[in-house]
Amino acid sequence: MEAPNYIKVDPPEGYLSPGLFATTFDKVVGLARKNSIWPLPFATSCCGIEFMATMGAHYDLGRFGAERLSFSPRQADLLMVMGTIAKKMAPVVQQVYVQMAEPRWVIAVGACAASGGIFDTYSVLQGIDRIVPVDVYVPGCPPRPEQIIDGFMKVQELVGKESLRRRYSKEYKELLESYGIK
Amino acid sequence: MNDNRYTTLNLGPTHPATHGIFQNVLTMDGERIIDTEQTIGYIHRAFEKIAERRPYYQITTLTDRMNYCSSPINNIGWQMAVEKLLGVKTTKRVDYMRIILMELARITDHLICNSVIGVDSGALTGFVYVFQEREKVYEIYELLCGARLTTNVGRIGGFERDFTPEVIKKIYEFLDHLPKVLRQFEKLLLRNRIFMDRTIRVGAISAERATNYGFSGPNLRAAGVDYDVRVTSPYSSYDDFDFTIPIGSQGDTYDRFCVRQEEVWQSLKLIQNALDNLPEGKYFVDVPEFYLPPKEDVYNKMEALIWHFKIVMGEIGAPVGEIYHSVEAANGELGFYLVSDGGRTPYRLHFRRPCFIYYQALPEMIRGGVLSDAILTMSSMNVIAGELDG
Amino acid sequence: MTMDNAFITGKLKTRFTDGILSVEETSDMLTVGIARDVIHEAIRFLKENETLGFTFLTTLCGIHYPDQELQLGVVYHLHRFADNTRIRIKTFMPLDNPVIPTVTDLFSAANWMERETYDFYGIIFEGHPNLKRILNVEYLDYFPMRKEYPLEDPTREDKDNRFFGR
């Protein structure tokens, strides 16, 4: 008999009995949030085409709950910045990030978004972490769809473990202050 | 223009329908578009300035990222431009291999463009079917050069490795399989009443205006002008082959869709011919200053070791001169104007980017139309932001 | 009918005797250097003359030679579809007066190409309908493609030039 093509994930810690599962609130909310992330694909260049391949049928990001892309920042959870961000585009990225409602995460896909990539020039922003706080960086030029999915899974881990009161915590507020985001 | 009854609508840099980041501020009278103001440069990466700093073979990686949907055409075009400067003539086998790769890349670019026209008019199915075929081409690229999208394929003087039997087998399988998918895609869209109503007479431009605007490629051929760089100034042995160039009549969105679709069929025929008649021979030409010597020689012979060192450290200069070379990229005439002063990097390299030149005609094409027509016109022109800003 | 380089040069020289500053036949196409004051007329002549008829402007770009007396230049590539003839036209101008007439009235394609040349080199095209920066940010206060400016952002402080091989 061949190995099954799925793995069973353990349920979170809690008290299990017939017809009842009791656990803490943040674990349930984390579980629900991490399996239904709505990404905002901010695709600017070549990494955007690899993202289209990731969303396609072959690699299928929809399996992870990210089936519904949201182009409106107000309805999105995860800002996926894919591609080079030039200095002309930087205020736009910040404006889109500010419009996103809490809780929100940012993933920088590709070398250009992470650090400017091969374009060390006067017109390219050397990494989007100069303007928005970034949670996960996916290196590559462009990264393979498997790498993008790996980055997405790391974001899922972060989302599952996130405290529900992160937005009111002192470190988060200081972090946003340092970027000039109110 | 400051009349109170006109509204200003911002089709902003981030928009699901503009595939790429560029901004159009539309002045509208209700649903009709009166005028457009375009802002580009949101992904300006200063390619021309970078090219003045990089040695000749490193510029191939820059050309990848211009039109990233069909990178091999840009790469091979650049290598041909440098070979023109050096005065190097390639063997028939190299030429035919280049034709196969360029036509594969052209197929992938046209597949994206046409399926995205479908997506923008609401037909999402075609996109998903067609993207599977792109994965097959990615597998072929991976066997050849190791990368999926930004391929950096080929070297000045030929290729770094030959087509292995597995590559040839995969290309034959692709040629067998793609026609079925293409016919399925055509059944969905080509004679679909709704699609035709949405695209016929939308975003039309006349042949004379298109020539004045510097159009080239499928957009110009849809307007009725039969200009194709592969036919007027044949390069890389294209004149050994017999293929037709599809021409439209009205220059509207439906014509552009049909021209691209027919070009995919022609490219399939070209690849089949080139692969069936692939001549024997070497897969590279000896250009000692730019082509790395084989590794056995580097380890055993002094001269090869010195050449290897000089090439990798980028100490070789090109001859003094200036050339202009153009290839038929998927969007039009991609030109390289190269001025060399004998140094290790170009003195001036200017890319003639087809997207940049034809996108400025958009206000004329959408004036008087409604917003949904403007979206379809934009996506049928196949604007790739990396090539637009460069 | 096919035209060879001598024919084109002959026609240009008969029409603009002093304006034609140099004629070269490089490996691929005829290169003609034309003085700045007759450049608009010359391009109109090349486009509208029935025998010449170069109706397609392939590209227009700038170039900067700091060692020459006339430092900034504009290079035009024209193309004639009928028999695939191309021609390259170069015009040079001094650094302190980089003004040249526009060709947007002849070729609409030149609109954005001239804006790009202005953006990169600071060459002012007289008569252009909308001459402002197109690719760079509007508040950039220098013309980046000129040879005296570096490639990298001069204000960045994190990358050390010693390790990045500048």
Please state whether beta strands A39-43 and C85-93 pair in parallel, antiparallel, or not at all (unpaired).
unpaired
Select from C77, C38, C90, C78 the least CA-distant residue to C54: C78
Helical H segments across B153-277, by residue range: 165-189, 193-199, 207-212, 218-223, 229-232, 253-276
Residue predicted with more confidence, A111 or C153 = A111
CB-count burial class (<10 Å; 0-12, 13-18, 19+) for B300:
exposed
B141 touches B153 (CB < 8 A): yes
Q: How far is B225 from chain A (nearest CA, A)?
A: 31
A92 touches B at CB < 8 Å: yes
Question: Looking at chain A from residue 3 to 32, which residues have their Cβ under 8 Å from any Cβ of chain B?
Answer: none
B216 touches B227 (CB < 8 A): yes
Instruction: Pick the residue from chain B with its C-alpha nearest to C78.
Output: B214
Instruction: Pick the residue from chain C with its C-alpha nearest to A89.
Output: C137
Residues of C whose CB is below 8 A from B325: 28
Torsions phi, psi for B195 (to 5 deg): -65, -40
Q: Domain limits at C50? A: 5-126
Write down the number of H helices and E strands in chain B: 17, 6
Q: State the Cα–Cα distance between residues B340 and B344, nearest whole angstrom.
A: 9
- Sign of the dihedral defined by the CA atoms of residues B131, B137, B142, B148, in that order: negative
pLDDT higher than 90, residue A107 = yes
Check A49 against B69: CB less than 8 A apart: yes
Q: State the Cα–Cα distance between residues B373 and B380, nearest whole angstrom.
A: 10
- pLDDT (0 to 100) of residue C164: 64
The number of angstroms, rounded, from the C-alpha of B290 to the middle of its chain's C-alpha atoms is 25
Q: State the Cα–Cα distance between residues B118 and A98, nearest whole angstrom.
A: 32
The number of angstroms, rounded, from the C-alpha of C148 to the middle of its chain's C-alpha atoms is 20
B36 touches B384 (CB < 8 A): no
Identify the helix (H) or strand (E) that includes residue A138.
Answer: strand A136-138
Check B350 against C88: CB less than 8 A apart: no
Q: State the Cα–Cα distance between residues C10 and B211, nearest whole angstrom.
A: 27
- pLDDT (0 to 100) of residue A4: 82
- Structural domain contains residue C145: no
Average pLDDT over residues A157-175: 89
**Rg of the Cα atoms in chain A:** 18
Of B50, B68, B138, the CB nearest to A46: B68
Question: Looking at chain B from residue 337 to 376, which residues have their Cβ under 8 Å from any Cβ of chain C?
Answer: 337, 339, 348, 350, 352, 356-357, 359-361
- Structural domain contains residue C28: yes
Amino acid at B84: K
> Cα dist. A130→A99, B231, B240, B339, C156 in Å?
18, 49, 54, 37, 12
Token pair, residue A122, equals 């006067």
In the numeric block, the tokens 């070791």 are attached to B305
- pLDDT (0 to 100) of residue A91: 92
3-state secondary structure of B174: helix
Amino acid at C37: D
Check B50 against C151: CB less than 8 A apart: yes
Check B43 against A141: CB less than 8 A apart: no
Check C109 against B348: CB less than 8 A apart: no
- Report the CATH architecture of B47-389: Orthogonal Bundle (1.10)
ipTM of predicted complex: 0.92
- Which residues from B are below 8 Å from A when comparing CB atoms? 12-16, 20-21, 41-46, 49-50, 61-62, 64-65, 68-69, 112, 128, 131-132, 134-135, 138, 148-150, 385-386, 389
Of A49, A121, A144, the CB nearest to B46: A121
Q: State the Cα–Cα distance between residues B8 and C128, nearest whole angstrom.
A: 25
Instruction: Pick the residue from chain B with its C-alpha nearest to A53.
Output: B131
The band of C84, judged by pLDDT with boundaries at 50, 70 and 90, is: confident
- In the sheet where A39-43 sits, what is the strand order? A39-43, A78-82, A105-109, A136-138
> Cα dist. B232→B103, B324, B326, C26, C77 in Å?
17, 15, 11, 20, 16
Token pair, residue B217, equals 């490629």
Q: How far is C71 from chain A (nearest CA, A)?
A: 23
Q: pLDDT tens, position by position, for chain B (390 residues)? A: 556 789 999 988 888 877 788 899 999 998 899 999 999 999 999 999 999 988 998 899 999 899 999 999 999 999 999 999 999 999 999 999 999 999 999 999 999 999 999 999 888 888 888 888 899 999 999 999 999 999 999 999 899 889 999 999 999 999 999 999 999 999 999 999 999 999 999 999 999 999 999 999 999 999 999 999 999 989 989 999 999 999 999 999 999 999 999 999 999 999 999 999 999 999 999 888 899 998 898 999 999 999 999 988 878 888 999 999 999 999 999 999 999 998 889 999 999 999 999 999 999 999 999 999 999 999 999 999 889 887
Instruction: Pick the residue from chain C with its C-alpha nearest to B213.
Output: C109
* Chains contacting A (3+ CB pairs below 8 angstroms): B, C
Write down the number of H helices and E strands in chain A: 6, 6
Q: How far is B25 from chain C (nearest CA, A)?
A: 15
Q: How far is A76 from chain C (nearest CA, A)?
A: 29
- Sign of the dihedral defined by the CA atoms of residues B259, B260, B265, B270, in that order: positive
Identify the helix (H) or strand (E) that includes residue A178.
Answer: helix A170-178
Check C164 against A88: CB less than 8 A apart: no
Q: State the Cα–Cα distance between residues C30 and B382, nearest whole angstrom.
A: 33
Token pair, residue C131, equals 């001459």
The number of angstroms, rounded, from the C-alpha of C163 to the middle of its chain's C-alpha atoms is 37
Check B227 against C81: CB less than 8 A apart: yes
Q: State the Cα–Cα distance between residues B251 and B223, nearest whole angstrom.
A: 4
Token pair, residue B145, equals 């050069």
Q: How far is C16 from chain B (nearest CA, A)?
A: 25
One-letter-per-residue 3-state SS of chain C = CCCCHHHHHHHHHHHCCCCEEEEEECCCCEEEEECHHHHHHHHHHHHHCCCCCCCEEEEEEEEECCCCCCCEEEEEEEEECCCCEEEEEEEEECCCCCEEECCCCCCCCHHHHHHHHHHHHCCEEECCCCCCCCCCCCCCCCCCCCCCCCCCCCCCCCCCCCCCCC
The band of C1, judged by pLDDT with boundaries at 50, 70 and 90, is: very low
B134 touches C at CB < 8 Å: no
Please state whether beta strands C30-34 and C56-64 pair in parallel, antiparallel, or not at all (unpaired).
unpaired
- The model's pTM: 0.93
Q: How far is C152 from chain B (nearest CA, A)?
A: 9
pLDDT higher than 80, residue A182 = no
First to last CA, chain C: 52
3-state secondary structure of B36: strand
A84 touches B at CB < 8 Å: yes
pLDDT higher than 90, residue C19 = no
- pLDDT (0 to 100) of residue A1: 67
Of A56, A83, A144, the CB nearest to B148: A144
Strands (E), chain B: 7-11, 23-29, 32-39, 321-328, 333-340, 348-352
Residues of A whose CB is below 8 A from B41: 86, 88
Instruction: Pick the residue from chain A with its C-alpha nearest to C161.
Output: A120
- pLDDT (0 to 100) of residue C165: 56
Domains of chain A, by residue range, sit at 37-160+167-178
Q: How far is A71 from chain B (nearest CA, A)?
A: 6
Of B41, B61, B68, the CB nearest to A49: B68
**pLDDT (tens digit per residue) in C130-152:** 999 999 999 988 999 999 988 88
Q: How far is A92 from chain C (nearest CA, A)?
A: 13
3-state secondary structure of B365: helix
Instruction: Pick the residue from chain B with its C-alpha nearest to A87.
Output: B42
Residues of B whose CB is below 8 A from C142: none
Select from B151, B161, B146, B142 the least CA-distant residue to B74: B151
Q: How far is C136 from chain B (nearest CA, A)?
A: 6
B1 touches C at CB < 8 Å: no
> Cα dist. C103→A59, B81, C79, C87 in Å?
50, 28, 15, 16
3-state secondary structure of A72: coil
CB-count burial class (<10 Å; 0-12, 13-18, 19+) for B330:
buried
Check C154 against A126: CB less than 8 A apart: no
Of C151, C158, C164, the CB nearest to A121: C151
Domains of chain B, by residue range, sit at 7-39, 47-389
Query: Which conformational region is residue C105 in: left (phi greater than 0), alpha (psi within -120 to 50 degrees), or beta?
Result: alpha
Amino acid at A182: K
Residues of C whose CB is below 8 A from B205: none
Please state whether beta strands C72-80 and C85-93 pair in parallel, antiparallel, or not at all (unpaired).
antiparallel
Amino acid at B132: Q
Give chain C's domain count.
Answer: 1
Residues of C whose CB is below 8 A from A126: 153, 156, 158-159
B231 touches B247 (CB < 8 A): no
Of B43, B46, B65, the CB nearest to A122: B46
Token pair, residue B50, equals 């970078």
Identify the helix (H) or strand (E) that includes residue B305.
Answer: helix B302-313
Which among C133, C153, C156 is the top mutation candidate for probing chain A, defined by the most A β-carbons within 10 Å of its own β-carbon? C153
Select from B122, B101, B62 the least CA-distant residue to B327: B101
A37-160+167-178, CATH topology level: Rossmann fold (3.40.50)
Count of C-beta atoms within a 10 Å radius of residue C156? 11
Residues of A whose CB is below 8 A from C150: 122
Residue predicted with more confidence, A35 or C159 = A35
Token pair, residue B131, equals 């993207």
